[in-house]
Amino acid sequence: MRYIANQARYQEMKYVRCGKSGLKLPLVSLGFWHNFGTKDNVENMKTMCFTAFDHGITHFDLANNYGPEPGSAEINLGKILKQEMLAYRDELIISTKAGYTMWDGPYGDWGSRKYLLASLDQSLKRMGLDYVDIFYHHRMDPQTPLEESMMALDTAVKSGKALYAGISNYDGVHTQKAMDILQELKCPFVLNQSRYSIFDRSIETNGLKEFAESNGCGIIAFSPLAQGLLTNRYLDGVPTDSRIHKDGRFLKEAQLTPEMMKKITLLNEIALERGQSLAQMALSWVLKDDIVTSVLIGASKPEQILDNLQIIGHTEFSEVQLQHIDEICSEK
């Protein structure tokens, strides 16, 4: 039976403008970094996409190398769109990126014009789309002139293959330089995608968050749960089906030191006092001051999406709670 979207899908979700642009994102966006690859269940992928969209999550975030295998997340989304969701294309924000290794040789990595534009063409083919809504440069390239990478984004937009330009994993200084170039080119730069969580506050110390607020640039936060540390999964040890055992590239068991476990336990107590799970509180914290446009969630099953959506309308913190969280995180 063909998918028909929930008619009440826009009633609960909050939509936030990306800086000073006309584009709005849902407060919660769905990331395809994990669980949409060749080893994952296609029916589960479909159900997660349907669940997200039925509850107002209009933004699906991808990259050329998401999988595994690289490219498979885009292929799987393309199949879901073609088979079930193409009628809703104009209600969706679909983003992709290029910047990490995608194919062999000198033209399949980093930030050259050759790589970025070839990668976008490949991404569109995999997803079966004429355009993406946001095309990002995925990481700064220390060897390619920034002007070249930004001009490639501008070409992507002016060719109609992307509607907006974005950058990811850029620091504050290079964000300013990138924005200056794109403004001169009159290219709509709307979003900087950065890692941000209770445990990782680098965008506060490198000036990126302050820059976004003062210059009308949107921020979308990834890894808000610190690869699962800010959930209840590890409160009683490491489950056999956890990401640590499945894929130790990003979260390692050695990170679960007694000091870290103490912090997680204390943060969980604050969450319970707020009537939230630890994950819900961690997501709410990222959105607490209205500077971050949207928070990216990952999910392995639809129930996790529904659980995360409980934060809508519950992102405010008291000064006492914020101070307590800061004190916990600063302990050695």
6 pLDDT exceeds 80?
yes
pLDDT of amino acid 246: 54
Tokens of 255: 């990170």
At 46-65, the pLDDT tens digits run 999 999 999 999 999 999 99
Q: What is the pLDDT of residues 287-328, one digit of tens each?
A: 999 999 999 999 999 999 999 999 999 999 999 999 999 999
pLDDT computed for residue 179 by the predictor: 96
Rounded Cα distance between 276 and 289, Å, is: 18
Q: How far is CA 186 from CA 90, 95, 117, 206, in A?
A: 24, 20, 19, 26
68 cis-preceded (ω within 30 degrees of 0): yes
Q: With cut-offs at 50, 70 and 90, classify the pLDDT of residue 1.
A: confident
Q: What global pTM score does this model have? A: 0.94
Positions of E strands within 130-251:
132-137, 162-168, 189-195, 218-222
Compute CA distances 95 → 133, 221, 230, whole Å.
6, 14, 26
Number of H-type helices and E-type strands within the chain:
12, 10
Is residue 88 within 8 A of residue 125, CB to CB? The reply is no
Residue 233, pLDDT score: 87
For residue 142, count other CB atoms closer than 10 A to its CB.
Answer: 8
Task: State residue 239's pLDDT score.
Answer: 63
98 Cβ partners below 8 Å, 6+ apart? 63, 64, 115, 116, 119, 120, 123, 135, 136, 137, 138
Render pLDDT for 70-116 as a digit per residue (tens, 0 to 9): 999 999 999 999 999 999 999 999 999 999 999 999 999 999 999 99
Q: What would the pLDDT profile of 203-239 be if each residue is shown by its tens digit?
A: 999 999 999 999 999 999 999 999 899 999 888 766 6
Beta-bridge mates of residue 296: 29
Cβ within 8 Å of residue 315, ≥6 positions away: 27, 284, 287, 288
Mean pLDDT of 151-175: 97
How far is the C-alpha of 14 from the C-alpha of 26, rounded, in Å? Answer: 6
Q: What is the DSSP letter of 175?
A: H
pLDDT of 190: 97
3-state secondary structure of 139: coil
The set of residues, in sequence order, having a beta carbon less than 8 Å from that of 171 and lying 6+ positions away, is 140, 206, 207, 208
| pLDDT > 90 in the chain, percent | 90
Burial status of residue 154 (CB atoms within 10 A of its CB: 0-12, 13-18, 19 or more): buried
Distance from C-alpha of 283 to C-alpha of 225, rounded to nearest angstrom: 7
Residue 15 burial (10 A CB sphere; 0-12, 13-18, 19+): middle
Which H or E run includes 97? strand 93-98
* pLDDT > 70: percent of the chain: 95
CB-based contact 114:144 (threshold 8 Å): no
- Residue 245, pLDDT > 60, answer no
The residue-averaged pLDDT of 32-49 equals 97
Domains of the chain: 15-234+286-315 (3.20.20.100)
